[in-house]
Homo-oligomer: A and B are copies of this chain.
C-alpha cells in the first residue's frame, strides 16, 4: 500500500498546481502557433516543448544537481538545468547562433549602398522608446520593472532573437521566457504588423520610387568588411564585441572562401544543435511564477509597440534621407531596418510590388535588413554597458 501511496504522491495529478496547467497550455499554444501558423518554428517548437517539460509537476527538469559534503553527486540535475546553466547563463548559445547567422548573411547589398546602414540605426528607436515606456510603467508603479528589466524589454524591438536572449539572460534572467516569446512571436508577425504602418507613413508616389540597380560588390570588399566592422567595434564599443565579434567571424568564414567546410558546419549541424538546446533552455524559464503575471502582459504590449515604432522610425529616416540625397530611396525599405531577417525585407518588397508591380525592392531592402542586425547588436552592447553602471 505504501507503494501505491508513493506512486500516487509522485504522480503529476497529486502535485499539479494551477499555474503549471496554465503554463502547459501556453506551451501548447506556442506549438500551435509554430506548427499551424508557421510562427518562427525553428525556435518556437523547442521553446514550446521546453515550456511543457519545465512545467511537468515533479519531473525536475530544471533542478540543479545536489552534491554531498565530499563533492560527490547525490542527485543529478535535470536536463533543462544543464542546458540553461551551460549554454544560456554563460551566453555561449546566443553567441554560437550569432556566428551561424553571420555565416548565413550576405553583406553584398549593404556594401553596394552603405548609407542604408542609417536605416538600420533609425529602426533602433523602437528599442529605446520601449525602454522609456517600460520605465514609465515602472515609475508610476503600474508594473514592477527595474531599469534592467526595461532594457531587456526594449531589446525585443531589435527584432533579433539571439540578441534579445543574450541581453535578457545577462540583465533580467527571470524575464527570459516572456522576452524570448515576445521577440520571436512579433518577428513572425512582421507581415501583419508592418504593412499598415508602412502604408500610413508613405504616399503612393513614395512607394513607387524605383531605386537604381545595386553595383556589383567584389569578393575582397566582402572579406574586408567584417574585419572593418570588428575593428570599429573593438575601438569604439567593446561591449558589443561578443555579439558582433562572433557575427563577423561567421561572416568571414563564409566570405573568405578557404574554410568552406567550417562555414558549412557552422550554418548547418552546429547552429541546428545549438538552436534545439537554446529553445529548450529558454523554455526552462517559462515557469508560472515568472510568466503568469501582469508584467508579462506589459512585456507583450510593449514589444508590439517597439516593433511599430521601429518600423515607423525606419520609414521616416528614409524619407529624411531623401531630402538630402539625389539618389532617392524608396522609404518602404526603411521598415526592413528592424532586422527580422529576411522577413522584413520580403514585406518591404511585397508592399512595394502592390504600389508598382515592376518595382522589385528585395535586394535593396536586404541592406537595411542586415544593418538592423548590426544596429541592435550595438544597442545591446551600449545598454549592457550603461545599465550595469546604473
Contact = CB atoms under 8 A, between A and B. Distances in A.
B12 A234 contact: yes
Contacts of A230: 52
Given A12-B238, A90-B82, A261 B24 contact: no
A35 interface: yes
A241 B56 contact: yes
Nearest to A261: B272
Interface in A214-232: 223, 227, 230-231
Given A52-B230, A227-B31, A45 B272 contact: no
Given A12-B238, A52-B234, A262-B275, 15 more contacts: A7-B385, A7-B386, A11-B237, A16-B235, A24-B231, A34-B256, A34-B258, A45-B258, A52-B245, A53-B249, A61-B242, A73-B89, A269-B270, A269-B273, A270-B272
B56 A234 contact: yes
Interface of A is mostly: helix
Contact of A259 (B10, B11, B42): B42
A77 interface: yes
A91 B245 CA distance: 26
Contact of A241 (B59, B273, B382, B386): B59
27 contacts: A10-B239, A10-B385, A11-B236, A11-B237, A11-B238, A12-B237, A16-B235, A24-B231, A31-B227, A31-B252, A41-B256, A41-B259, A42-B262, A45-B253, A45-B256, A45-B258, A45-B259, A45-B262, A49-B249, A53-B245, A53-B249, A56-B233, A56-B241, A60-B238, A76-B170, A82-B90, A264-B272
Contacts of A257: 35
A235 B265 CA distance: 38
Interface in A264-301: 264-266, 268-270, 272-273, 275-276, 280
Interface string A1-33: 001001100111101100000001000100100
A120 to B, nearest CB: 20
B265 A272 contact: yes
Q: State the number of copies, please.
A: 3
Contacts of A61: 241-242, 245
A196 interface: no
A79 B261 contact: no
A261 B256 CA distance: 25
A13 B235 CA distance: 5
A137 interface: no
Interface string A84-105: 0000011110010000000000
Contacts of A273: 265, 269-270
B45 A235 contact: no
B49 A76 contact: no
A385 B24 CA distance: 23
Interface string A58-76: 1111000100000001001
Which of A16, A60, A238 has the largest number of chain B CB atoms within 10 A? A238
A24 B234 CA distance: 10
Contacts of A245: 52-53, 56, 59, 61
A389 interface: yes
A175 interface: no
